[in-house]
Amino acid sequence: MGYTNYWHQHRDFTKIEWGQIKEEYDYIKEVCEGVIVDETITADKIVFNGNSKDNQDHEPFVIEKIAKTKKDYKEQDMSFNFCKTAMKPYDLAVWHMLCFINRICPEFPISRDR
């Protein structure tokens, strides 16, 4: 297993919310330079991981502007998301992003294995 962060995204982010989230991510990239590696490819998704140097990466953190809608199986909770970080240094950036999003979108519940 490993240390994990959890969240539920029940809806799409608005244009204003997504702009705030991306601005906060730009701040995190600056502050956590050398700790996180940006793997973002599209404007509607943020993806980062820990720096693979010295094995400080684990699972990538992925947050999307548009909430998931396609089920892989019938009982799947489409709002449920998680990121296993194994408490590596980039976990702080993951938790900061989740707390920031929860602050601007209180209906975006977050939790972690702590």
Q: Render pLDDT for 39-69 as a digit per residue (tens, 0 to 9).
A: 999 999 999 999 999 899 999 999 999 998 7
Name the pLDDT band for 113 (thresholds 50, 70, 90).
very high
For residue 43, give the nearest of 67, 24, 19 by alpha carbon.
Answer: 19
Query: 101 by DSSP, 3-state: which?
Result: helix
- Domain count of the chain? 1
pLDDT, average across residues 89-111: 97
Q: % helix / strand / coil in the chain, to the nearest 5? A: 30, 25, 45
Q: Does 1 score more than 70 pLDDT? A: no
